[in-house]
Amino acid sequence: MMTASSRWARRLVPVLLLVAWLGIGGAFGPYAGKLGEVAVNDQAGFLPRSAESTEVIEEQKAFRQDETLPAIVLWTGDADGPVGDRQPEATRALASLVDTPGVVGRTSPAIPSEDGEALQGVVQLDPGLGDGLPDALERIRTAAEKVPGTTVQLAGPAATRADLSDAFAGIDGLLLAVALVTVLVILVLVYRSVLLPLVIIVSSVLALALACAVVYALADNDVVRVDGQVQGILSILVIGAATDYALLVTARFREELAEHDRFTAMRSALLRSWGAVVASAATVALGLIALLLSDLTNTRALGPVGAVGIACAVLSTLTFLPAVLVLLGRAAYWPAKPRATGNRSTGDGVWRRVASLVGRAPRKVWALTLAALIACAAFAPTLDSKGVPLDETFVNDAPSVAAQRTLSEHFPGGSGNPTVVIAAADRLGRVVAVAENTEGVASAAGATASGRPGGEPLVVDGRVRVDVTLDSAADSDAAKDTVARLRTALHDIPGADALVGGYTAQQYDTLRTAERDRTLIVPVVLVVIFLVLTVLLRSLLMPALLVATVAVNFLATIGVSALVFPHVFGFTGTDPSVPLYGFVFLVALGVDYNIFLMSRVREESLRHGARQGVLRGLVSTGGVITSAGVVLAATFAALGVIPLAFLHRSPSSSPSASSSHAGRALPA
């Protein structure tokens, strides 16, 4: 018989948990908006220290006192005639910018194009301008527009960074709002309830607030380096995972309410579901932790950041959510409140029919499913993950993209964004000659002490810098191929000790590093997940089968993406990180759903035998897993609201894979 103190305790504990979580939300909620303050969106900062382009960045510091961020000013003529005649005015306009806020050192003279229809000049800016960068660019534009009869555009790294900052502006609020509204609509349709979806949303938001506070502290103390992509994925991951785990808990609670009062029902629901939730979360977290093996610091940062997010999602799901559900009881499901009938629900009618089909012809079901997956996986090698060119980086035509396009029409593609070579001073002549004779190179010239062409070479500690202009746009595949040829040629010069860096080299090194990461991390993730499943299921064969199914599903997803990206969305390629991110998320989250299923199968098998246990487990969890897959797909798809191509192309894999996992007839 329950004592008075026990009755008070079972009511008091949920209230205390609710108050504690509301306090967490109030204290840490603002950090979801502050995370952008510690985000860094500079690709060079994410390269490994061993990369050749990183070595060039370090050596370049000796050639100038301050790091700079180049802005390319481009003038094109109008109906009044060729703009080349206005070179003196353009040069004076550039010179007038010296000593203005944000400008570092001297400006270059205006250089005319060979066709006489354009001029370009370079203004070096302080890379630490931060929020002041748009104002600095506006001052440059104002000065440049004083040249009569011309149209002014701004290109180069400074203009691109400004456009990126503009694209990420408001990322927290917009992304979170779209994800939450999407999830709310889906939950209302799933539960046909008003209150329960709101409770689940609040649980997810509280988990995100706690996760953002922890990640902010880690980033602020230089433990991890967060960029806009990691920031966006954290929000989506926490909302999606917390909602998935909540679906499992609320489904079990509803079942138990048919036989018990709300307190007993919640105790039973937690006892029957916490193991699956924790095991699933551990699998995802360990898969993410494997990203620490990456040489790219933004990919490496996603490991601990994602693991923190998953931990917060589990904590909220197993504490805040049960507390609120116990306090609300059956009212949480209003208007479709479950009744105390004394009989458990046998599951959704659709999934009873699916289970019946699987039971009648298991071999046919798994054979057809596997054949379909293999057919899709056959296209996986055709996915182009060599990177997204600048003209496709933004969904809309950003000003810097339009300016770069105009620049390429009148000047060599690499103008204003040269490849940088650092070499021994006594081999300067040979280095310049070899560079100029390399296929894809437009010109090469050593840096001078005066900063003017033809002057004395600038020698620092026996080293010189050579600026190499490429024929192709700095972010093109052709430019990356030129960098590879240039490195091969310059490395063969005895005693030159040449290093090749710059923007294109950074892109090239990122691509090579991403390939190395995939080769290393993919097998590690598979082994980690296999070991977790082995401990959970106390078997060797079943974990192997589960890992194999999600691995095949991942390849099928990549194959579908390889077809859909170019032929439906018009994408010519995707970011090098997408295959690895896709693998970690799809395999780990795919096993997530398998754990939900197999935990229930194991429970039912103890009562009804293996065959009936599998079929009953499918009937009981089919609806939950399908709902979880749809929710996860929708939350990842929310990344598409950000006008950046690499985020559009990142979630495109996740929804299709989540849906595929939800519909896969694994029990066959």
Report the CATH number that the domain containing residue 135 is assigned in CATH: 3.30.70.100
How far apart CA 422 and CA 501 sit, in angstroms, is 8
End-to-end CA, the chain: 46
State CA 495 to chain mean position distance. Answer: 42
| pTM exceeds 0.85 | no
The mean predicted confidence, pLDDT, of the chain is 80
CATH number of the domain enclosing 442: 3.30.70.1320
Say yes or no: 433 and 448 in one domain. Answer: yes
Closest CA to 266 of 445, 11, 70: 11
Q: Residue 580 belongs to what domain range? A: 4-38+170-378+509-663
Q: Which amino acid is at 277?
A: V
In tens, the pLDDT along 63-109 reads 765 567 888 899 988 755 677 778 889 899 998 988 888 888 788 88
Phi, psi torsion values for 341, nearest 5 degrees: -90, -20
Q: For the chain, what is the domain count? A: 3
Question: 3-class secondary structure for 230-297?
Answer: HHHHHHHHHHHHHHHHHHHHHHHHHHHHCCCCHHHHHHHHHHHHHHHHHHHHHHHHHHHHHHHHCCCH
pLDDT of 390 higher than 70: no
How far apart CA 82 and CA 568 sit, in angstroms, is 42
- Residue 385 in any domain: the answer is no
In tens, the pLDDT along 327-384 reads 888 888 887 676 666 555 555 567 677 767 767 777 887 788 889 889 988 988 888 7
Task: Count CB-CB contacts under 10 A for residue 342.
Answer: 8
CATH number of the domain enclosing 228: 1.20.1640.10
Minimum mean pLDDT range among 5-19, 192-206, 239-253, 371-385:
5-19
Mean pLDDT of 599-603: 74
- CA dihedral (92, 96, 102, 104) in degrees, to 10, reads 60
Please give the pLDDT value at position 664.
Answer: 45
Task: Count CB-CB contacts under 10 A for residue 19.
Answer: 11
| Burial state string for 120-150 with b = 16 or more CB within 10 A and e = fewer than 16 | bbbbbbbbebeeebeebbebbbebbeebeeb
- Residue 593 in any domain: the answer is yes
Say yes or no: 254 and 286 in one domain. Answer: yes
Closest CA to 469 of 95, 111, 175: 111
Please give the pLDDT value at position 663.
Answer: 41
Say yes or no: 360 and 235 in one domain. Answer: yes
Q: Which amino acid is at 481?
A: D
Q: How far lies 619's CA from each of 532, 600, 658, in Å?
A: 25, 10, 19
Closest CA to 288 of 317, 315, 311: 311
How far apart CA 219 and CA 209 sit, in angstroms, is 15
Q: Which two tokens stand for residue 75?
A: 């003038």
Say yes or no: 442 and 566 in one domain. Answer: no
Q: How far lies 125's CA from each of 18, 106, 153, in Å?
A: 51, 10, 16
Residue 535's contacts (CB-CB under 8 Å, 6 or more residues apart) are none
In tens, the pLDDT along 273-317 reads 888 888 888 888 988 898 889 888 878 888 899 999 999 999 999
| Peptide bond just before 335 cis, omega within 30 deg | yes
Say yes or no: 487 and 519 in one domain. Answer: no
Say yes or no: 224 and 115 in one domain. Answer: no
Q: Which amino acid is at 271?
A: L
- Residue 458 in any domain: the answer is yes
Question: 3-class secondary structure for 595-631?
Answer: HHHHHHHHHHHHHHCHHHHHHHHHHHHHHHHHHHHHH
Say yes or no: 551 and 477 in one domain. Answer: no
